[in-house]
Structure 1
Amino acid sequence: MFSKFGFSGSSSFFKNLGDGIGKGLFILCAASGTILLTVGGAYAGSYSFDTNWNATSNFWPCAWLILYNPNSALIGGGLLFLFGAIGTYKDQDRQNKKMNQLVTENEELNNTKSELNSAQEELQDSKSRIISLHGELVQTWLKGMSKMLQLDSNSRITIYYEHDEEFYLLERFSKNPTYAKIHRQKFPLNQGVISKAWQHEQFIEDKCPHSSTYQDYVDYLRSSYGYESEKISSLTMHSCRYYARAIIDADIHIGVIVFESTEINFFDNDLCAKIGQYCSEHQGQLSKFVRDSLSFDKEVNIKKKGKGISVEDDILQTMEADV
């Protein structure tokens, strides 16, 4: 119990008591002064100090008479009331100043919050513009690659990057606007053509039958990649040829680039060798595209823009060639 008090104690009883007395002192003085003024005023009219003074002798009776008489009550009450009134006024004035200061600080805080929100919005807008410009840059680069490799409207190129054990679609290009559309942004790490290239640095699919022999095409995808028939029929692009290559930065796999086509002659004219050489020569640029996308936090940007997942969402769970 006693450990709560003293210099090292944890009790705030006496501090709170002192604060309470200090805050109520002026009110107490004013109230006491009012009482003394009332009592003194009630007896002062019929009271004669001279008469009582002449009838009093010795020190203590005289001192008592001086202190305890209606006139002294009026004087003391007036002084107490004046002291209490002035103190209360000053105390209220200090409180008003403090309240005004708090109001001013609150307004400044609200202004600061508003400025901070505006700055955050401007920052987000700037970030969105940078991401958009980055996307346009990657698109232009893919377009130049497609032109150099002489790819037609039956093919497309897509870049994916890995983040938090999932693949995210960075950018895509195709001369065919239908194939160039992006319906899905996120893909599993352990399925499909992308996964095989991610694990083994390169993967080539050159045995899949053309979709014109639809049942053979479906059977092959089902047996090779575990697709269900309804998912295969939902694909926008029924690709049968894939070339996927890992994007490597300092011996670390950070993404995958996928070339695909709906035609079985896609790899004619030694296209695989040309793609491999081009990717090797531009590995640094591909790595930079992926690193920049990671720094821009693509997933947050996707959610901000409200890009949804289409009906094809679960489709190319492995071929990452469509979605």
Structure 2
Amino acid sequence: MFSKFGFSGNSDFFLRLGDGFGKGLFILLAAIGTVLLSVGGAFAGSFKATQGWTSVSGFWDSFSFILFNPYSALSFGTIFFLFGAIGTYQDQSKQNKRMSTLEDENLKYTETKSALNTAQEEVQETKSKLIEKHNELVTTFLKGVFRQMDLDTHARVSLYYEHDEEFYILARYSANPTYSKIHRQKFPLNQGVISKAWQHNCHEEVKCPSADDFEAYKQYLEDTYQYESDKINALAMNSCRYYAKAIVDADVHIGVIVFESTKENFLDEDLKEQINSYCESHQGQIAKFVRDSLNFDKEVTIKRSGIQLSVEDDLLKELRGNHE
């Protein structure tokens, strides 16, 4: 219970008490000096020091006469007033100096914060460009895959990676610009062709009806892959043939590559063999694409969760501590 008064711990109670007493003492002395000067001045004109001194006898009477007379009041008032005024002036000078120091520190803090913000913006801009170039590289790779398989404008190839219990699309390519656009960024872990391939290494879909019979097509996707009706209606590409393979890195599934088409004659044995051969021979390259994307997303997730890894945040926190 005594820690808050400074008997133990880190309390500065008595330091603050002594500092406040010192400041108050100077003000009090100046006030007492002013009162004594006023009283002494009021009675000094009518006071006869010689007559008064001849009328006293004994030590205590003499001491009282010397101590309690208008001239003594003027003398002590002058001393008290000067002492209080000088002390107050010195205290104010220290406060002004301290305020000036704090203003300089605050200016340096502001300048440092501004410089750090600028540096942070440059870093973020560099990271954004890096991510953009990475996506372009992956898209170019998928474009090569597309041409290697001699796919047509009814097909497309997409690469997904798993992060935080969801699938995210990394890149997509199709010779048909409508199918090449990305409308959704993430997908559930337990739905669709991606989920099947993720769980079982590979998945092919050859029984889905063509979207020409949209009701049958829609019902099949709902029953087989747990797609929601409104999501099916919003699909930009109504694929009925899929071939998906899991991306494996050190025996761990980290992503899925999906080949799909709106044509029922899309998947034949030759195409599946080409896809398997190509994916196996380029497994390391594809896995690296996915790993890099996972690294980018982990940093975003860390910031969203409130964990601060920024040098700027640490430095600013330290500067705030110094001001306090």
State the TM-score, normalized to the length of structure 1: 0.83
| Larger relative contact order (CA 8 Å, sep ≥ 6) | 1
- How far 1:197 moved relative to its partner? 0.4
Pairwise CA distance, 1:55: 4.0
SS in 2 for 1:255: strand
2:84 matched residue in structure 1: 84
Do the aligned partners of 2:6 and 2:14 also contact (CA within 8 Å) in 1?
no
Q: Unmatched 5+ residue regions in structure 1?
A: 305-323
2:130 matches 1:148: no
DSSP-derived class of the 2:152 partner: coil
Looking at structure 1, the residues matched to 218 and 122 of structure 2 have their Cα atoms a distance apart, in angstroms, of 50
State the match for 2:185 in structure 1: 185
Counting only pairs closer than 5 Å after superposition, residues 297-316 of structure 1 correspond to structure 2 as: 297=297, 300=300
> Over residues 70-108 of structure 1, what are the superposed CA-to-partner deviations in whole Å (9 max), with x where a residue is unaligned?
111111111111111111111111112222222232233
SS of the residue 2:26 aligns to: helix
The amino acid that maps onto 1:133 is K
Q: Deviations over 1:188-224 (max 9, x none)?
A: 1011111110000011112334334555544543443
Tell me how far apart the structure 2 counterparts of residues 7 and 299 of structure 1 sit (CA, whole Å).
47
Residue matched to 2:279: 279
- Counterpart AA for 2:176: N
**Could you tell me whether the CA contact under 8 Å between 2:5 and 2:14 is conserved in 1?**
no
**Residue aligning to 1:262:** 262
| Other-structure match for 1:31 | 31
With 113-122 and 130-139 compared, the bigger mean Cα shift is at 113-122
Deviations along 1:266-313, one digit per CA (max 9) or x if unpaired, are 234611111111111111111111111111118959xx9xxxxxxxxx
CA distance in 2, matches of 1:159, 1:215: 28
Q: How many percent of aligned residue pairs carry the same amino acid?
A: 62
* Structure 2 residue identity aligned to 1:139: T
Q: In structure 2, how many angstroms separate the alpha carbons of the residues matched to 1:249 and 1:25?
A: 76
1:118 maps to 118
**Counterpart amino acid of 2:246?**
A
State how far apart, in whole Å, the 2-side matches of 1:83 and 1:229 are.
89
Q: Is 1:106 matched with 2:106? A: yes
The CA deviation at 1:4 is: 8.6
Tell me the secondary structure at the aligned position of residue 265 of structure 2.
coil
Give the AA of the match of 2:68: Y
Distance in 2 separating the partners of 1:240 and 1:179:
14
Give the partner amino acid of 2:121.
E
Q: 1:49 to 1:215 in 2, by over 3 A?
A: closer
Contact 2:30-2:85 at 8 Å conserved across structures: yes
Instruction: Give the alignment of 1:211-226 within 5 angstroms.
Output: 211-212=211-212, 214=214, 216-226=216-226
Q: Distance in 2 between matches of 1:83 and 1:48?
A: 29
Given that 2:204 and 2:244 are in contact with CA atoms closer than 8 Å, whether structure 1 keeps it comes out as: yes
Offset of 1:227 from its aligned partner? Answer: 4.7
The equivalent residue for 1:64 is 64
* Residue 9 to residue 61, structure 1, CA distance change in 2 (3 Å): farther
Q: Whole-Å Cα distance in 1 between the matches of residues 233 and 90 of structure 2?
A: 85
RMSD, aligned CA: 3.0
Match of 1:166 in 2: 166
Structure 2 segments unaligned to the other structure (5+ residues): 305-324
SS in 2 for 1:178: helix
2:46 partner letter: S
Name the aligned partner's letter for residue 109 of structure 1. Y
* Counterpart for residue 139 of structure 1: 139
- So what's the TM-score if we normalise by structure 2? 0.83
Secondary structure, in 3 states, of the residue corresponding to 2:238? Answer: coil
Kindly provide the amino acid, as one letter, of the partner of residue 30 in structure 1. A
- Relative distance call for 1:299 and 1:227 in structure 2 (3 A) is farther
In 2, distance between residues paired with 1:13 and 1:29?
24
Instruction: Summarize deviations over 1:22-42 as a string: whole Å, max 9, x none.
Output: 221111111111111111111
Structure 1 residue 240, shift from structure 2 partner:
2.0
Cα 1:228–1:61, aligned 2, differ >3 Å: closer, same or farther? closer
- 1:10-52 deviations in whole A, cap 9, x for unaligned? 9987666544322211111111111111111112122232333
Letter in 1 for 2:257: I
Q: Distance in 2 between matches of 1:9 and 1:160?
A: 56
